[in-house]
Amino acid sequence: MPRIPDETVQQVLGATDIVELIASYGLDLKRAGADFKTHCPFHNEKTPSFNVSPGRQSYRCFGCGEGGNAVGFVMAYENLPFPEALRKLAARSNITIEEGEYDPQEDRRRRRLSRLKLLHNQAARFMHSLLLEDPGAEHARQYLKSRGYDREMAGRWAIGWMPRNTDIFLDWARDAGFTGRELLHSGITKLREENNPRSGLWVRFGDRLMFPIHNERDDVIAFSGRKLREEQGGGKYINSPETPIFKKSNVFFGLHKAIRHMRDYAVLCEGQLDVIACHEAGVKNAVATQGTACTNEHARLLKRYTGSDKVVICYDSDFAGHDAAAKAFVEMAALGMDVRVATMPPGEDPDSLVKSRGPDEFQSILEQSSEFFDYRLRYLGEENNLDDPGTKARVVRELSPMLHAVSDKNAQEASINFVATRLGLSPDGIRQAVVDTAKRPSRRRDQKDDPIIVESTPVDRELGVLAALALQSHEVLDFLCDQTEQVLIGAEGREGEALLRNILSTRPDVPNPAAVNTFLQSLSAGDRATLLTLLEEPTPAAPLTAATEILGILAEQGILQELGALAARLKSPELGDDDSKAIMERITELQRIRSEAKSP
């Protein structure tokens, strides 16, 4: 598979303003000296520690260590691989991506992912054919019929059936040319005995109705299996585990069909059958999370594909549904989205409502969806006396974190005033409750209390400073490249030696931010974190002088260490004349290098 040349990456980065890019994702950047700061979008924090540098065209969080350039931000924020993130930025700047020479490692990775997608797509077709034709699937067909669905619907959604005798599936997979390793990596199977490759494969989904899960490009990437017999073990639904092509925290069921119909708004449901019922009833902008609550990644996807940033939550009317709606609101409101709630009648969900009352009634409920805090106060008022002072105080405490989550300050102020009016309270009191909430640690379902810290690569202080100077000054980089012998002597055996060698061998076009960021993008997360930390430090007024002094110190230390070792060898009684001569020549050479290292 061809790779994208560094020159193209540099061109895209050079055309992208990272401050403008990050602000376009709804982050509220505040000027802090020469840089900008905001709350980190990658972990939960009370005090802003996410720093964006327009000068270096990079970002870095001092809390979790996440950092990089514009491409790295898009990769992390939208969970995209490097090529897709780069193409997204290139499209913003009307730059055409031309791929370069063959990259065998990237080619192998892409081939593995392509094989997994091929396996899932072909497995979906095989299981769909079993559902329609296999005599053993009669009970699966009857189940679908009992839910009001026919063969045509099953065809539109590629619903299938995994046989009770799963050897049928394994035989098909082998005949189709898929290996046991590929079946394991797909998540459709696992080892019968953990850590024992000889134990054979066990299929997770025996005798289940199989719903293919697609990505937004219509590839099948996972399955959800619904049990068909009460005596079956496991839950009502079993989902594929996470694999290289399936991450449940950023996948929606039905997105591949809804994506073309979400310009006005999206409908967020709880389950697959709800989504199918919506689409079959003509509500083609419906999606559902896949076995998990709505996460920050889900919210980003919805914001990415809804033209109006509007979402209508359409969950069940039970306690769990109302609780899930509140949590989904927090995730979406944090991105500045307009969140509405369609209230289902008691005991109903979209699937049952469409069947019992018809598509028109369901469409009417969607059209009458309420602004979130209007809905939430009506829901709380059903079980509580909102005229009671104690209840008012408790409701304010419950709503304060939700009000605090609203990132749009105008929308937050309007919501505070709305809640105050409904409860007959002063807006100032509610505003203070929101402020108090901001001072308390908060919990986000998809963000851990202890953020994943990017481990920086250990580096010797002097080598680290040289590395940073080499990326800040072309004079320093040229000087160090010219003094390679002294650098190697001074760096040998020290932490950070490989990192400095990489800079000198690559020789990026410093101090051009696009060139530096292209180089940083090629590094490991640990190396990148180390250099981003070092680059945060002020550049000396005379970088070349500083580099010369440091190199002199390093070379001096390295040379003295080697001279000591050579002197010890000269004392050996077994040393021959030729060896003595070679050692003396090396001592003379080291003395010369020592002298040259003290001047540029």
CATH number at residue 580: 1.10.860
Residues 312 and 280 in one domain: yes
Residues 474 and 432 in one domain: no
Residues 504 and 409 in one domain: no
Task: Please choose, from the candidates 202, 246, 244, the residue with its C-alpha nearest in 3D space to the C-alpha of residue 224.
Answer: 246
Task: Please choose, from the candidates 199, 104, 123, 201, the residue with its C-alpha nearest in 3D space to the C-alpha of residue 162.
Answer: 123
Answer with the one of 37, 66, 92 that is the final residue of a domain.
Answer: 92
* Cα–Cα dist 365/375, whole Å: 13
Residues 397 and 438 in one domain: yes
* Cα–Cα dist 173/171, whole Å: 5
Residues 276 and 372 in one domain: yes
- Determine the 3-state secondary structure of 476 from DSSP: helix
Amino acid at 597: A
What is the maximum span of the chain, computed from C-alpha positions, in angstroms? 104
Number of domains composing the chain = 4
CATH number at residue 83: 3.90.580.10
* Cα–Cα dist 27/406, whole Å: 12
* Cα–Cα dist 44/452, whole Å: 11
Residues 83 and 132 in one domain: no
CA 248 from centroid of its chain's CA atoms: 11
The Cα angle at residue 403 between residues 448 and 418, in degrees rounded to 5: 165
pLDDT at 222: 95
Residue 454 lies in a domain: no
Give the residue numbers spanning the domain of 404.
Answer: 266-449
* Cα–Cα dist 519/471, whole Å: 10
CATH number at residue 151: 3.90.980.10
Residues 432 and 302 in one domain: yes
Residue 384 lies in a domain: yes
Residue 319 lies in a domain: yes
Number of H helices, E strands in the chain: 27, 17
Residues 399 and 377 in one domain: yes
CATH number at residue 298: 3.40.1360.10
* Cα–Cα dist 86/68, whole Å: 13
Contact, 366 vs 372, CB < 8 A?
A: no
Residues 6+ positions from 401 with CB-CB distance below 8 Å: 330, 437, 442
- Determine the 3-state secondary structure of 343 from DSSP: coil
Residue 456 lies in a domain: no
Residue 422 lies in a domain: yes
Question: Global pTM?
Answer: 0.63
Q: Is the dihedral of CA 343, 346, 348, 354 positive or negative?
A: negative
Residues 322 and 424 in one domain: yes
DSSP code at position 265: -
Residue 252 lies in a domain: no
Answer with the one of 394, 415, 449 that is the final residue of a domain.
Answer: 449
Residues 175 and 206 in one domain: yes
Query: Which class for 402: exposed (0-12), middle (13-18), buried (19 or more C-beta within 10 A)?
Result: buried
Residues 414 and 316 in one domain: yes
- Stretch (H or E) spanning 568: helix 543-570
pLDDT at 537: 84
**CA distances to 333, 419, 424, 568 from 402, in Å:** 8, 12, 19, 73
Residue 586 lies in a domain: yes
Tokens found for residue 141:
């067909």
Residues 51 and 145 in one domain: no
Residue 275 lies in a domain: yes
- Stretch (H or E) spanning 69: none
Tell me which residues of the chain have a pLDDT lower than 50. 1, 442-450, 600
